[in-house]
Structures are given as C-alpha cells and as structure tokens.
Amino acid sequence: MKKKSIFTLCITVLLSAVLITGSALGATGIWEPFNYYNSDLWEKANGYSNGNMFNCTWRSNNVTNTSDGKMRLALTSSSYNKFDCGELRSKAKTGYGLYEVRMMPAKNPGIVSSFFTYTGPTDGTPWDEIDIEFLGKDTTKVQFNYYTNGVGGNEKIIDLGFDASRDYHTYAFDWQPNRITWYVDGVARHTATTNIPKNPGKIMMNLWNGTGVDSWLGSYNGANPLYAYYDWVRYTSR
C-alpha cells in the first residue's frame, strides 16, 4: 500500500506539472495555455477556403504562438483583394461540458473572431455547432448561437459593457443535454433550452473576413493585417 501511495503521488505531481507548463488532454478535459504549438492536440487549417461567405484562404502561417504565451490568428493579404485567414482546431472531438476561452478579438468591419465547437458532414455526422462570435464591426457586443442538425436561427447578441478588442476577458459555454448556458467573465448571460446539439465536435477558433453578408458583418474594407489573440482554452467534461 505504501509503494502504491508513493507511485500515485508521483503520477499526480507529474500530471500537475504538465497541466501547468503545457497543453494536455486528460480523461476529464483539455487545458491549453498556448505556451507552444502542440500538434498532438491541435491542427491548423491550411490551403483551402470554406467559400460562400468566407472571403479568404486558411493558411497555417496565420496561426502562430507569440513569445509571451498567446496564440495569434491573423488576417492578411498576399496580393490585391486576395486574403488569408487563420483557423485552429482540436484533433479530438469533445462532448458535453464546460468550454472556456480567454481571448481578445480583432476589431474591424466585415470580420469575425470566434471560439466554437463544430461537427458536420465532413466528419460523417449531422451539422452541430455552438458559437461564441465577435463581429468586428462592434466589439462591445458578443453573439451567441448554435446549430442542431443544420438548423440555426438561434442568434443572441449580448451587450458586454466593455470593448472586447481592448483587453482579455473569459468567455464560456456550458453544454448539457437539455441546455446551453453562455458566460462572460464567470457571469451567466444567456441560456438556450430548445433543440440542443448532441453530437461531439471539435473545438475551433478562427478569424476571417466575410463577403455577401454585409447586413450581418458590415462591409469589409480590406484593412490588414488584423489579429485576434487567445490566452488560454479549457474544456472540462461533465
């Protein structure tokens, strides 16, 4: 029993060190402080475009880790009227639980900075998605949304009382079988209880500029480079 206790203590200390110093995937969740790029947990979108309202091409070079321990997504222009954007997503799918991000979105008309879960036909599943989105035209607000089997129309705009593009704040959603509750700096701001998604999805973050959706995002003026910053991400399984 003594040997087993010592072994258990050593394992606990080692796991704690991993969680403190670098990203980790455990039985109960994910902790990502963005000290470095962990290719075992994450992948960068590269070399293609989602098309439709996305007016850019995903580039892995537009996803970088900064020297002060942040993950930076960039929106840039490689040539006139050609735009590159950034997206990071988890390799593993996650289900019900608490999803948290500490981030600072980009500010400019016509763009979106996001944190969300997604799965869809490319994964062999229905389209289920839960969103935290910042529309760059007004970063004093945040948009919460979700899709279940491709059915959306659940947008909710929340006044933050501050400009999200000026400092880091913590945004979260708690996804349960019968509800989703969104939080800003630990305070519940919106709850949905109808037609809740059920399929596990990938954790995703992206920055992109839109086209043909001016009524939603405003008209993108071509300004670049633009950056969204992510301090950390945490997922806790329920």
Residues classed as catalytic: 129, 133
Residue 165, CB half-sphere, CA atoms under 13 Å: how many?
19
